Structure 1
Amino acid sequence: MNPTDVIVVGAGPTGLMLACELAQAGVRCRLLERRTEQPNITRAFGVHARTLELLDARGLADDLVKRGVPVRQVQPVPGALLDLSALRTRYPMVLIVPQSGTELLLEERARELGVEIVRGAEVVGLRQDAERVVLELADGSTESASYVVGCDGAHSTIRNLVGIDFAGKQYETHILLADVRLAEPPHDALFAETSSEGVVLMIPFGDGWFRAIAWDRLREQVPLDVPLPMEEMRDAFRRIAGTDFGMSEQRWSTRFLSERKQARRYRAGRVFLAGDSAHVHSPLGAQGMNTGIQDAMNLGWKLVADLRGQAPAGLLDSYERERHRVGAQVLTLTDGFNRLVLGRSGFRRALRNLAMRTLLGNRLTRGFLAGRLTGLGIRYPATTRREHKWTGRRVLDLRCSGGRLYDLLREGRPVLVDTTSSGAVAQAVRDSGSTVKVARYSGPAVSGLPGAVLVRPDGYVAWAGTDGDELPAQAVAAARRWFGAPARTQPARPRT
């Protein structure tokens, strides 16, 4: 027997989220991190609506919202406004919060759940067979587990050790990043300005510090290892935006070269990839950390089901099938933003700006772009044509007899929502002894709402059925097919 069920390599937001998912379900997991200390980094700073919904499903979102600055309108190009406040979600915003703040929240939760976080653990070797994975560490020791998940970043050791190709390209333009204090902050919560000399953004963290970002065409080829003084950032803002907002102090700065790459596969035997190990892209659109956290939510419950012997055939393989497709869509989105914002030709930029204004002026295309940007539009493909049209889609936070649906998901268990007037579906699933949590819908009428909806632990529809005499039996069969017999391990007590 392996002393550990799952080893997660990398204690960034993706690895921490995955460790929380596993530990909450009673899975024995260890989190290995090469860094000896938790850095106060702020490279990622935007948390989108779908990520906030998923964090809400584990009782974490409201704590994070308190630590950040909500932005409810986004202007990708001059004259084109995307109003996030109109979104159908409890979190109609992009939340500006330092990555370090998100990591601290997730680490607090992981430690509450008993996750062992081992810092200074550098993986140098990996071997696997049909039963386990063995990791070799730099200090000469080994760690073994039933599964290993590489969440160790763009230069992933785990990905390299299993020989998965990381295909794509580097962008040519170097990006300037700095955390600064301002004497005269901009009025807009999310300030952006474009000129022939480049692009600058100023983003508040809510604690007196701001993230200054510049794509400066005069400085885009300066070597990455050259220090970035505050005067250089001031100069970029003055030339591009006409002001430096009174930059008076700088606590951190770097030159950054972004990439557009994706792993060919997200799985090699008993080894999986998630987060930046699986995909990296332009920071425009703030997609990286969000996509990684959503990877973790997708993979976590599937590993739990497999380890409990409850997984239907092909469930673990569905992680790659679902999330590789999403990763490719994110790369297309961020590459489009990169071309739009950083294009060198003024004429082409003008045409692209006109196209963006046209797209955001149309209700249908505006909704499509909002869904892609926020993650609310993610939908996983059905496996057969016979499945209900709701299968694979994100579930709204339905009002149920036991409370909000996303409250009912707090334990990381699936939920069967019965929307029929008789409640026969809910009663049948309860009587079957299923481990699925059961609730009856108590909200207003929703167009097209199925008679019963089986919600996965990550907030997407596993199965749905319409009204009919066979619906209770169909719901029982779906619950058994997806989530099996009673679990062999009990989940940890959820955070209140």
Structure 2
Amino acid sequence: MSEATVTTVDNPVLVVGAGPVGLVAACELARRGVPVRVIDRSRTPVAQSKAIIVWPRTLELLAGLGIADEMVAAGHQLDGVRFHSNGSVLGSVTVSQLPDSRYNHVLMLPQWETERFLQARYAELGGVIEWGAELTDLSQDDDGVTVTLATKDGPVEKAVVSWVVGADGAHSTVRKLVGIEYTVHTPNMTFAIADAPVAGPVDQRYLHYCYSAKGAIGVGPLGDGVFRFAVNVKDGQQPDRELFQAALNDRAGGMGTVGEPKWSALFQVRCATADRFRAGRVFLAGDAAHVVSPAGGQGLNTGIHDAVNLGWKLAGVVNGQLRERILDSYHEERHEAVRRVSAVTDKQTRWGLITDPAKVLVRDLLARAAALTGVLQRLATPLFCQTDLHYGPALAWWKLLRYPAIRVGGRLPYLADECGASPLPTLVLSPGAENVPATLPYTLPVKQLPAGRLASLLGPAKALLVRPDGHILAVAPADRPEALVRALRPVLTDGATILKGRTR
């Protein structure tokens, strides 16, 4: 490695890591006109399946980048999730019945395909990924972040950037350099995973979670008769065809005959959360900030939600439209959201690994009762899809029975994927609220609702402020819009607000 050092003043934002989370963050910034630089220590893109599940709320967010429909066309769509115990069905969560999203399915798509769409979109936005470039040091002050970058064959570079986004995985260099603790909150578990063909009666319309006294197995259809397997294993077991066949027989009631895996591996599940998602001008996202249980396939999705939450806020600050204090809400909102996801996925993992006969009986009875009464469908569908996510105090479970609903902090039903072009909130108006924009001191994007399901849910003559990530900032009657103004004042800068045709 050369000792030559080049000092530059570089792009306002450096994204470390060119996986899905880093690329979403980069695209969110670039599409709003923010210069961004993306580096990744890998020499080339990694073509591995890794994460395979993309949930509806994530597709809504990726619709803002213009790639969601392409991803859906390339993947395999499932109707939902089915739970089994000792070979019999406990109940199903039917995502195809999700009432308020056009992405009412579970999308099975290998991670390398998701990355391919993101790489192409980033290139369309003028971005270039610097493969083989590694962050080795950083320091920051009030004016920026000085980073040291190294490549295997080139000189060491020292650059000054305004902000750094660490999306460099569970062993994040960024996190270590800023001294943020990574707290492990569940015990380590070992899983064997594989993609393999199956011949037999296994239903390819559902993601299957199968529980038994011998352990658990997840079976995810990828299309064309190929399935993703995830099996908890003991030390010394190898991820070969025989292991997956035995697991399918013993834990899933013999759904079919497993063919030779296309690939297989062992991996350790080490669930952890960073104590902080921000340190000054440095942010953590995705696995650099948290690793959740693989149950429910929420890890990739949760990381993409981080990137979108941070992306519009950081873009608005860099462009001078949003006050810098809004960046504090990134940790507040996403740390709490991750805590909730971690709690649910950890419980699902432990729930599936119960072996005590009495506890198994109770679990199965509760699951069947929830399925028969409709409670499982009503509560678990938005939970899996993450369409129930809201930023604010946790809601009591019985309030979640009212779904969809208009709640401050909650996701906008039906149109959550249509409010993200600008870093500014969108003013959404129901019939009868057409005059609200003229009463506000701000110029905002406006969306007038026709008569329909959302207008009926909102009610006549109502106005909403909707954030670029589709979450509701404020609600007000058309004749009393003061709540909208109160919500906007601490968010928008003077340069982003217009009063009667002049800068305020």
Tell me which interval the TM-score lies in, with the shorter structure as reference length: 0.7 to 0.9
Q: Equivalents in 2 of 1:333, 1:422: separation in Å?
A: 39
Match of 1:93 in 2: 105
Instruction: Say whether the 8 Å CA contact 1:2–1:146 is kept in structure 2.
Output: no
> Which 10-residue stretch deviates more, 231-240 or 451-460?
231-240
Q: Equivalents in 1 of 2:433, 2:245: separation in Å?
A: 66
How far 1:474 moved relative to its partner? Answer: 6.0
Instruction: Say whether the 8 Å CA contact 1:58–1:411 is kept in structure 2.
Output: no
How far 1:238 moved relative to its partner? Answer: 3.5
Q: Equivalents in 2 of 1:45, 1:441: separation in Å?
A: 35
Of the candidates 108, 114, 120, which is equivalent to residue 102 of structure 1? 114
Q: Which amino acid aligns with 1:167?
A: T
Q: Deviations over 1:270-290 (max 9, x none)?
A: 111111111112111111011
User: 5 Å matches for 1:95-494?
Assistant: 95-139=107-151, 140-169=156-185, 171-184=187-200, 186-189=202-205, 190-207=207-224, 209-216=226-233, 220-222=234-236, 228-241=239-252, 243=254, 245-312=256-323, 314-363=325-374, 366-381=377-392, 390-398=407-415, 406-407=417-418, 409-410=420-421, 414-421=425-432, 423-428=434-439, 434=443, 436-444=444-452, 445-449=455-459, 451-468=462-479, 470-471=480-481, 475=484, 479=488, 481-484=490-493
- Percent identity, aligned pairs only, is 35
> Which 10-residue stretch deviates more, 91-100 or 440-449?
440-449
SS of the equivalent of 2:15 reads strand
SS of the equivalent of 2:50 reads coil
Instruction: Say whether the 8 Å CA contact 1:46–1:96 is kept in structure 2.
Output: yes
Q: Equivalents in 1 of 2:133, 2:201: separation in Å?
A: 42
Q: Deviations over 1:186-241 (max 9, x none)?
A: 2343344332222223222225532122224xxx1128xxx633333333334433
Q: Equivalents in 2 of 1:5, 1:207: separation in Å?
A: 45
Q: Deviations over 1:78-117 (max 9, x none)?
A: 3222222222221222211111111111111111111221
Instruction: Say whether the 8 Å CA contact 1:123–1:135 is kept in structure 2.
Output: yes
Q: Equivalents in 1 of 2:290, 2:281: separation in Å?
A: 19
Distance 1:123 1:346, change over 3 A: farther
The runs of 5 or more residues in structure 2 that have no matched partner are 1-7, 394-405, 498-504
Q: Equivalents in 2 of 1:187, 1:475: separation in Å?
A: 49
Q: Equivalents in 2 of 1:81, 1:205: separation in Å?
A: 19
Structure 1 position 26 matched with structure 2 position 36: no
Q: Equivalents in 2 of 1:7, 1:279: separation in Å?
A: 20
Distance 1:440 1:476, change over 3 A: farther
> Which 10-residue stretch deviates more, 363-372 or 29-38?
363-372
TM-score by length of 1: 0.86
> Which 10-residue stretch deviates more, 477-486 or 199-208?
477-486
Distance 1:129 1:407, change over 3 A: same
Of the candidates 47, 50, 70, which is equivalent to residue 63 of structure 1? 70
Q: Deviations over 1:432-482 (max 9, x none)?
A: 562x211212132423447111111111112221131x43x7656755653
Distance 1:116 1:207, change over 3 A: farther
Q: Equivalents in 2 of 1:348, 1:330: separation in Å?
A: 24
The runs of 5 or more residues in structure 1 that have no matched partner are 383-388, 399-404, 489-496
TM-score by length of 2: 0.85
Q: Deviations over 1:51-104 (max 9, x none)?
A: 111122332221111111222231234322222222222122221111111111
Instruction: Say whether the 8 Å CA contact 1:418–1:426 is kept in structure 2.
Output: no
How far 1:408 moved relative to its partner? Answer: 5.2
Distance 1:451 1:346, change over 3 A: same
